[in-house]
Amino acid sequence: MAGSQRIVIASSNTGKLRELVAWLHEWPVELVNQSDLGVTEADESGISFVENAILKARHACSATGLPAIADDSGIEVEILDGAPGVRSARFAGPGAGDEKNLQLLLERVRGTGAVNPVARFQCLMVFMAHAGDATPVIAQGTWNGHLVPEPRGSHGFGYDPIFFVPTHGCTSAELDPTIKNQISHRAQALAGLLQGLRARFPAQSEIPRRRAGTGR
């Protein structure tokens, strides 16, 4: 790949950018947040995580003419038929925030009478070389656990305080963030994305630049 190749991260979240920079350190690329390029948030109208990740990546490619990486994530609760799923960030309504989302999820679980229901965090990561890329690199990470009835722990965000991680005997909000970043759904998806990028762009090859008619 050329040393100056820029890749746009279809997220305004600087934490995600930092994680990606760390994981992609072996690639001679410059990662830049879409908000720094004036790109607005994409419409997340998909009904699956992978659709939303592709929508976000394509939107960022179209707006910038650059390759893009996007992710979409959320929590699925088996007894609730996978809810909140793709609606995790807006479960209690647009702009409701983490606390209201978490409380609504606990309320819904209580309504079923289930104790410690099976849950999993999902993360889908997508790399698109350009807006018309028909073979995006796609990776999925799944973190299995179950819900606890009361929030525990102060790290993390979102549903971390009620997500119990059986392998570590605590909630993900009680986990050392360094550990979480090694084992979470996002870490697994990032590892898969890296593997997919290595396969699609073997050493010395180059991420294609914008092709005529597929960019902004």
The catalytic site residues sit at 72
Least separation, in Å, of the C-beta of 135 and ligand IMP?
23
Residue 136 tokens read as 């995006």
Residue number with CB closer to ligand IMP (151 or 208): 151
Residue number with CB closer to ligand IMP (33 or 73): 73
Name the DSSP class of 40. Answer: P
Residue number with CB closer to ligand IMP (75 or 207): 75
Binding residues vs ligand IMP (CB under 6 A): 71-75, 88-89, 101, 121, 156-160, 184
Least separation, in Å, of the C-beta of 185 and ligand IMP?
7
| Total Cβ atoms within 10 A of residue 107 | 10
Nearest alpha-carbon partner for 41 in 23, 55, 31: 55
Nearest alpha-carbon partner for 12 in 45, 44, 46, 37: 37
CA pseudo-torsion sign 145, 146, 148, 151: positive
First to last CA, the chain: 22
Residue with smallest beta-carbon separation from ligand IMP: 158
State how far the Cα of 146 lies from the Cα of 76, in Å rounded to an integer. Answer: 10
Least separation, in Å, of the C-beta of 156 and ligand IMP?
5
Residue number with CB closer to ligand IMP (127 or 159): 159
CB 72 within 8 A of CB 60: no
Least separation, in Å, of the C-beta of 62 and ligand IMP?
19
